[in-house]
């Protein structure tokens, strides 16, 4: 076993690797950028080396700096985690050339599976079923459009070097093909440096089911059963589970046999995932699944496999890379119970899952799983950490395991309802709604489920009167310690004939709320809410509501929903109203990728004006109303959240940009 390894990653996966390394007595070296100087993975590691500025191209993608850090600190091997350089064969070669061990597959294996088109041709030769489509080298638009017509619409354009839904477009009609191809190519070029694509038949009711495989350097390869990753938004996974609901023994055998065959075809060593698309339109059948791609690394969702098989896949990685054989044979790997993983992101589900930033002023996960279940929280952040625009905005992975799917699903819902995050917009309410969705609960899932139900899944009911009253009471007691269990204690006071009423102002969304809070002789609070709520009631808060106070705000938690109220300064509200005079502003930090109109152009409501790229995804900014362009951002401009993108002649737009 290694004495010391370097982890060429950050955040949750770096922390995950450190925990297993510590268990095995292996010392760890972290690397970090400017933005991560005080991050959790740096604190957890035995040593840490600064490798550059916050942008990934100047830090986490600098293989030369990472290898230099490993050599300087005496590390024997490099664990790449997932993302960044984890599937870069050139980096794997460079690690080996430096006399270090790459904790992952060989560069040859990564290259064999790194390009979707070449990988599918290889799988066809190995006897693994692949999706009908065009996987050739020629990329002329006329040829690709012709192949799409031959395959039959709808088709799916996919970046051949892609992953995570980037560079992927569904096309319903030939007239849409050219625009979809251009968009997919731009996104693929930005994300992977390769704009080449393949074109495949779009499966009508697709399930995304993948198989965890593991190989060693002695010719052994096993599978650790399947994971269902069909719950996706914008082609990115949201909730994963194992085993797949409705899985038949016939399909499981066919699929796992094909996965092991694929791994052996490239002499695979280490952790890998064979991803399949399954046609579920007539149920799960052994002859209706096809190879999509192989991820030659540890997957984000690997904990669900660990939960149902009782394994530590990171430990397996370290043992295999250090020259040991696989810890178990196929017959020794059993499937027990059911597990779910929910990815908690800083994002606004109601606005098309736009990534969010902010400081996590309050972060609290459940202390324990419901009775009969077990739970893991995989995270790389703590309360007080910032979600920056430089990296993926995942906050944590909430993983539960129970005896069966129903029990595990109930445990997931309960855990989400007790998760509290304030300081950034998060997706916990959306995840809880998805877990409770009747189709999802019944196991009737496919990759379009979230899209079909998106309106219902992302709608958040307005706060109840009691929630608003709790926020008003907390705001009125602003003099109390934010750390106190009773943040309203400062309200108690002497009044000879009547209780003392305190007036407070809150803002929720666009609503300004004025409230009068009084303390009754029996210790309860009477809250009078003025327009638009007009509610006068008594609220007993002896059992303190779940809330978090943070600078200028109060977040009250109802189940998985966090309602955030701004505590208004009445003297500043007139200035805010004056400042809202309108311009069309960026809804998030990003890069102006493409401008579709110019100064002086007349536009109509809903017309695309420009494309903003954020987190390597493209977002179309549309006109909020008819008008004439007075000013518009220039292509290539890097903008921050709230930057003015467009001004109109005459009437000014007062709304924030909406991305589609």
Tell me the C-alpha distance between 497 and 487, whole Å. 25
Per-residue pLDDT at 485 exceeds 50: no
Distance CA 352, CA 293 (A): 27
Split at pLDDT 50, 70, 90, the class of 492 is very low
Q: Please report, rounded to a whole number, the percentage of residues in the chain having pLDDT higher than 90.
A: 67
- In the predicted model, is pLDDT for residue 324 greater than 70? yes
**Burial status of residue 273 (CB atoms within 10 A of its CB: 0-12, 13-18, 19 or more):** buried
Q: What are the pLDDT digits (tens) for 234-259?
A: 888 999 999 999 999 999 999 999 99
Give the CA diameter of the chain.
90
Could you tell me how many helices (H) and strands (E) the chain has, helices first? 17, 38
Average pLDDT of span 117-145: 89
The Cα 465–Cα 91 span in angstroms is 57
What was the pLDDT predicted at 531? 65
Residue 487 has pLDDT above 60, yes or no: no
- For 374-385, the pLDDT digits (tens) are 999 999 999 999
Per-residue tokens: 277: 């698309």
Sequence-distant (6+) residues with CB within 8 A of 560 are: 416, 417, 419, 428, 429, 431, 432
Is 524 designated active site? Answer: no
Between the alpha carbon of residue 290 and those of residues 46, 259, 286, the distances in Å are 44, 11, 10
CB 412 within 8 A of CB 406: no
pLDDT tens digits for 327-354? 999 999 999 999 999 999 999 999 989 9
Look up the pTM and report it: 0.81
Q: Tell whether the model's pLDDT for residue 146 goes beyond 90.
A: yes
Mapped onto helix, strand or coil, the DSSP state of residue 603 is: strand
pLDDT at 6 over 90: yes
Q: What are residue 31's DSSP bridge partners? A: 49
Half-sphere CA count of 341, side-chain side, radius 13 A: 31
Strand order in the sheet with 168-171: 133-134, 197-201, 155-159, 168-171
Asked if 319 contacts 1 with a C-beta cutoff of 8 angstroms, the reply is yes
Q: Is pLDDT of 357 > 60?
A: yes
Specify the range with the lowest mean pLDDT, choosing from 136-140, 341-345, 446-450, 571-575.
571-575
Q: Shortest CA distance to 488 belongs to which of 524, 459, 447?
A: 524
Stretch 384-392: mean pLDDT, rounded? 91
Q: For residue 655, what pLDDT band results from cuts at 50, 70 and 90?
A: very low
Q: How many CA atoms lie less than 13 Å away from 603 in the CB half-sphere? A: 28
User: 129: which 2 tokens?
Assistant: 């079923």
320 Cβ partners below 8 Å, 6+ apart? Answer: 214, 215, 216, 217, 269, 270, 326
User: Tokens standing for 59?
Assistant: 């830090």
Helix or strand holding residue 43 (H, E): helix 40-44
Out of 185, 227, 297, 405, the active site residue is 297
pLDDT value, residue 575: 34
Distance CA(62)–CA(65), nearest Å, equals 6
Check if the beta carbon of residue 657 is closer than 8 Å to that of residue 647: no
Model pLDDT for residues 195-215, shown as the tens digit of each residue? 999 999 888 889 999 999 999
Structure confidence at residue 651 (pLDDT):
53
Closest-CA residue to 292 (of 202, 224, 352): 202
Start-end of H helices in 310-442 = 313-321, 405-417, 428-436, 438-441
Q: What's the confidence (pLDDT) of residue 640?
A: 76
Question: Strands 270-279 and 206-215: what pairing?
Answer: antiparallel
pLDDT band at 283 (very low <50, low <70, confident <90, very high): confident
Per-residue pLDDT, 656: 46
pLDDT at res. 535: 64
């Amino acid at each position: 076993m290694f004495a010391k390894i370097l982890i060429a990653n950050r955040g949750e996966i770096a922390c995950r690797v450190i925990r297993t390394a510590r268990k095995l007595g292996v010392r760890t070296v972290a690397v970090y950028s400017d933005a991560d100087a005080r991050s959790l993975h740096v604190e957890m590691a035995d040593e840490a080396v600064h490798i550059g500025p916050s942008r990934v191209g100047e830090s986490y993608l600098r293989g030369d700096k990472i290898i230099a850090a490993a050599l300087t600190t005496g590390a024997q091997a490099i664990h790449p985690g997932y993302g960044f350089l984890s599937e870069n064969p050139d980096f794997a070669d460079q690690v080996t050339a430096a006399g270090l061990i790459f904790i992952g597959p060989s560069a040859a294996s990564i290259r064999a599976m790194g390009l979707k088109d070449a990988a599918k041709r290889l799988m066809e030769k190995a006897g693994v079923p692949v999706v009908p489509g065009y996987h050739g080298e020629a990329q002329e638009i006329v040829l690709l459009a012709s192949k799409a017509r031959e395959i039959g619409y709808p088709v799916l354009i996919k970046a051949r070097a892609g992953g995570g839904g980037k560079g992927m477009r569904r096309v319903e009609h030939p007239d849409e093909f050219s625009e979809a191809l251009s968009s997919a190519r731009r996104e693929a070029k930005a994300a992977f440096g390769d704009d080449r694509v393949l074109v495949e038949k779009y499966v009508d009711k697709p399930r995304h089911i993948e198989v965890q495989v593991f190989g060693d350097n002695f010719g052994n390869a096993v599978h650790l059963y399947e994971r269902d990753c069909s719950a996706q938004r914008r082609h990115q996974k949201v909730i994963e589970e194992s085993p797949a609901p409705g899985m038949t023994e016939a399909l499981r055998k066919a699929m796992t046999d094909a996965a092991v065959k694929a791994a052996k075809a490239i002499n695979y060593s280490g952790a890998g995932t064979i991803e399949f698309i399954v046609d579920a339109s007539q149920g799960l059948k052994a002859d209706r699944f096809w190879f999509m791609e192989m991820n030659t690394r540890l997957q984000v969702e690997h904990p669900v496999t660990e939960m149902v098989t009782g394994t530590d896949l990171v430990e397996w990685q370290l043992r295999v890379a250090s020259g040991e054989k696989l810890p178990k044979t196929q017959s020794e790997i059993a499937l027990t119970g059911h597990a779910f993983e929910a990815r908690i992101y800083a994002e606004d589900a109601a606005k098309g899952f736009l990534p969010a930033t902010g400081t996590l002023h309050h972060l609290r996960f459940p202390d324990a799983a419901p009775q009969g279940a077990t739970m893991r929280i995989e995270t790389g952040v703590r309360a007080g950490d910032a979600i920056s625009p430089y990296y993926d905005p995942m906050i944590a992975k909430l993983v539960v395991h129970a005896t069966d799917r129903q029990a595990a699903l109930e445990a997931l819902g309960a855990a989400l309802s007790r998760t509290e995050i304030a300081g950034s917009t998060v997706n916990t309410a959306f995840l809880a709604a998805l877990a409770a969705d009747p189709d999802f609960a019944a196991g009737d899932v496919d990759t379009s489920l979230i899209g079909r139900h998106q309106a219902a899944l992302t709608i958040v009911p307005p706060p109840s009167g009691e929630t608003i009253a709790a926020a008003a009471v907390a705001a009125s007691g602003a003099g109390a310690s934010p750390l106190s269990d009773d943040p309203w204690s400062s309200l108690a006071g002497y009044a000879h004939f009547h209780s003392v009423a305190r007036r407070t102002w809150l803002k929720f969304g666009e609503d300004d709320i004025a409230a009068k809070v009084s303390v009754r002789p029996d210790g309860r609070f009477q809250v009078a809410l003025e327009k638009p709520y007009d509610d006068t009631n008594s609220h007993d808060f002896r059992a303190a509501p779940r809330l978090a106070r943070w600078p200028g705000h109060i977040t009250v938690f109802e189940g998985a929903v966090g309602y955030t109220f701004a505590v208004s300064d009445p003297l500043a509200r007139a200035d805010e109203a004056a400042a809202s005079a309108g311009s069309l502003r960026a809804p998030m930090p990003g890069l102006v990728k493409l401008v579709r109109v110019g100064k002086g152009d007349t536009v109509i409501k809903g017309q695309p004006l420009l494309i903003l790229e954020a987190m390597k995804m493209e977002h179309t900014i549309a006109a909020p109303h008819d008008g004439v362009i007075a000013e518009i951002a220039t292509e290539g401009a890097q903008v921050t959240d709230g930057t003015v993108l467009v001004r109109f002649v005459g009437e000014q737009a007062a709304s924030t940009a909406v991305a589609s």
